[in-house]
Structures are given as structure tokens and as C-alpha cells.
């Protein structure tokens, strides 16, 4: 069988771990996707609109998901200090604990059992596939600052923040080293 086709077929079978009917531990597959994203998202993406774009839903559906997760105590929202109409979503300690029951952990464990070279190849291959399919489908996937075309490395004074080694040219903000590997829904990969 064609190697590419065989791999995509395997990915399709794996997708059933991410996508399922009904609920697992009380959450739908989309709720899990949202909670997982918000636990890894940077401060610019912990918003209802970034969440809507990540889960591929309307703002109304994203608000519904946020309400459900908030009711269960897994999320909390705080008004933005800059714009009172915006909110920042944060996963609570209860939500973080609950993520130990994430149905996709079975895949994380299976991957963790591979050697480092295989893990790196697998991750890089998935990234390349996403980059290529984004271009073909004129969409963008979420990823980290490290690979983003808006990341500027060099010391600069940014609006309202201290000078930093890393800065985001899109948000005109300093990026702390601890934020470099967090997920951002506004990510755009650098042209090759």
C-alpha cells in the first residue's frame, strides 16, 4: 500500500480517540478539546474568540462550552484589565487535575514509550503535514511562538512591559521565555 495513504488511514483510526459520541467523564469531545487547548494556550489565546477558532465552532458554541466548563469548576473567567468587554479564560486547579483523565492521554503514553528520535520525527512530520494542509486549505493551525513569523528576537522596550529578549510584532508585546512554547491561535508559520 502507498505509504502516505497507509499513514493517513492509521491517523484516521487514531482520530476515534479524539472524536467520540456522547461524553467521557462527563465531557464531550469538543469540551475536552477546549479544556486541553486552554491549559496550553498563551495569554492572547485564552479568549472565547480564539477558542472558537481553535475548536472550529461559532462564538455562540464556544460560549456554551465555556459556560459548561465553568459550571463544572474547570474554568474561570476574569475581565481583561485593558478592555472591560473582553475576558481571559483560565483553567482552574480542579481543571488541571481533571485533565489527568483526558481520553487522549492513552496516545501521549503510547508516544512517550518511543525513543526520542522517533518522537521528534513524529512531531516534526505532523507539523509539516499541518503547515502544508494549512496552505492548501487557506487556514491556520495553532502553534507556538518559537516557529511564528511574528516573533522578534532581540532586546526592545514594548508597550507597558519591561524590555524583553522576545517580542511579538503582532500583539506588540513582550514574550517571556516561559511563554515561548505555549499555543497561540494567531500563530503563522515562517515562510520556508
The contact set with ligand SF4 (CB under 6 A) reads 42, 44, 145, 148, 150-151, 168, 170-171, 175, 184, 186-187
Tell me the C-alpha distance between 149 and 64, whole Å: 32
Contact indicator for 189, 143 with CB cutoff of 8 Å: yes
Other CB atoms within 10 A of residue 14 CB? 12
Q: Could you please report the per-residue DSSP string of 55-90?
A: HT--HHHHHHHHHHHHHTTSEEEEE-SS-TT-EEEE
Q: How far is the CB of 189 from ligand SF4 (least distance, A)?
A: 9
Which of residues 91 and 167 has its CB atom nearest to ligand SF4 in the complex? 167
CA atoms within 13 A on the CB side of 50: 22
Which of residues 17 and 130 has its CB atom nearest to ligand SF4 in the complex? 130
Residue 27: CB partners within 8 Å, gap ≥ 6?
Answer: 35, 69
Q: How far is the CB of 44 from ligand SF4 (least distance, A)?
A: 5
Q: What angle do CA 92, 96, 99 make, to 5 degrees?
A: 135
Q: How far is the CB of 51 from ligand SF4 (least distance, A)?
A: 15
The C-alpha cell that represents 96 in the structure block: 488541571
Q: How far is the CB of 89 from ligand SF4 (least distance, A)?
A: 16
Which of residues 60 and 161 has its CB atom nearest to ligand SF4 in the complex? 161
**Among 150, 171, 149, CA closest to 161:** 171
Q: How far is the CB of 143 from ligand SF4 (least distance, A)?
A: 7
Q: How far is the CB of 179 from ligand SF4 (least distance, A)?
A: 8
Contact indicator for 75, 35 with CB cutoff of 8 Å: yes
Which of residues 90 and 186 has its CB atom nearest to ligand SF4 in the complex? 186
> Quick check: helix, strand or coil at residue 172?
coil
Which of residues 72 and 127 has its CB atom nearest to ligand SF4 in the complex? 127
Which of residues 42 and 75 has its CB atom nearest to ligand SF4 in the complex? 42
Amino acid at each position: 500500500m502507498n505509504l502516505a495513504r497507509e499513514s493517513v488511514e492509521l491517523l484516521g483510526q487514531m482520530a476515534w480517540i479524539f472524536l467520540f459520541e456522547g461524553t467521557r467523564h462527563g465531557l464531550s469531545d469538543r469540551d475536552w478539546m477546549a479544556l486541553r487547548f486552554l491549559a496550553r494556550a498563551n495569554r492572547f489565546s485564552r479568549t472565547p474568540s480564539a477558542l472558537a477558532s481553535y475548536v472550529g465552532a461559532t462564538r455562540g458554541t464556544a460560549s456554551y462550552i465555556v459556560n459548561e466548563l465553568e459550571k463544572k469548576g474547570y474554568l474561570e473567567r476574569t475581565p481583561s484589565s485593558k478592555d472591560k468587554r473582553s475576558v481571559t479564560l483560565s483553567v482552574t486547579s480542579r481543571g488541571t487535575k481533571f485533565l489527568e483523565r483526558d481520553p487522549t492521554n492513552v496516545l501521549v503514553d503510547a508516544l512517550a514509550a518511543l525513543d526520542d528520535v522517533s518522537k521528534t520525527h513524529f512531531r516534526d512530520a505532523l507539523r509539516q503535514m499541518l503547515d502544508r494542509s494549512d496552505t492548501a486549505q487557506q487556514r491556520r493551525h495553532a502553534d507556538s511562538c518559537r516557529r511564528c513569523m511574528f516573533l522578534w528576537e532581540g532586546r526592545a522596550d514594548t508597550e507597558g512591559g519591561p524590555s524583553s529578549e522576545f517580542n511579538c510584532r503582532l500583539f506588540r508585546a513582550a514574550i517571556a521565555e516561559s511563554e515561548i512554547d505555549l499555543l497561540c491561535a494567531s500563530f503563522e508559520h515562517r515562510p520556508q
